[in-house]
Amino acid sequence: MPHRHLHRYLLFYKPYDVLTQFGQPSGLSTDAPPYRTLKDYIPVPDVYPVGRLDRDSEGLLLLTSDGRLQHFLTDPKFRHPRTYWVQVERVPDAAALQKLCQGLVIQNYRTRPAQARLLLPEPDLPPRDPPIRFRKQVPTAWLELTLTEGRNRQVRRMTAAVGFPTLRLVRVAIAHLRLQGLQPGQWRDLTPDEQAGLRLRQ
């Protein structure tokens, strides 16, 4: 009986300033310092990130060798929830939160309804390296935002559109998968229960 290839499913806590790819970007000049990539952290062959997380964002990244699951989780029509903790300039009022929840028009596109709430107290996260630009006279607040779509830089564009620019962005959940238990730069295999939860969604 032929050996059936077992797929790998990994969760990774992507640090700030790391590219969501294994190779260096094309067109990088030879004298430019190399970027930090997934290759610096994950020694597992043949796994690829499901979706992306911008270089200046942090948090949960799912990687797998299962191409079918990768396609399923990145197809917008399946509307998988993704939850972010977002530090913004100033403190959003109820009207701003309502706009985020209802959906708003960004670059001729209307965002899907989202969940948005103020996070009180502030979340307990590892400090960012380097830290955000801090201005003593401008307060900041943390939001929890759950989206069912993942357009390019969408969270940043949404908070800017309601007047509260994003300072720090951390993805803390993809569907039922959570960031807890990992520190920046750490990864682990999914548990059998977590894998089963992904299959149930297909």
Estimate the crossing angle of helix 154-161 against helix 94-102, to 10 degrees: 140
97 by DSSP, 3-state: which? helix
Active site residue 54: yes
Q: What is the residue type of 134?
A: F
How many angstroms separate the Cα of 11 from the Cα of each of 6, 50, 153, 177, 178?
A: 17, 10, 21, 8, 9
Catalytic residue among 31, 40, 46, 54: 54
Strands 36-37 and 18-19: parallel
Where do the DSSP E strands lie in the chain? Answer: 9-14, 18-19, 36-37, 48-49, 58-64, 82-89, 105-106, 109-110, 115-118, 140-147, 166-174, 177-178, 187-189
Catalytic residues: 54
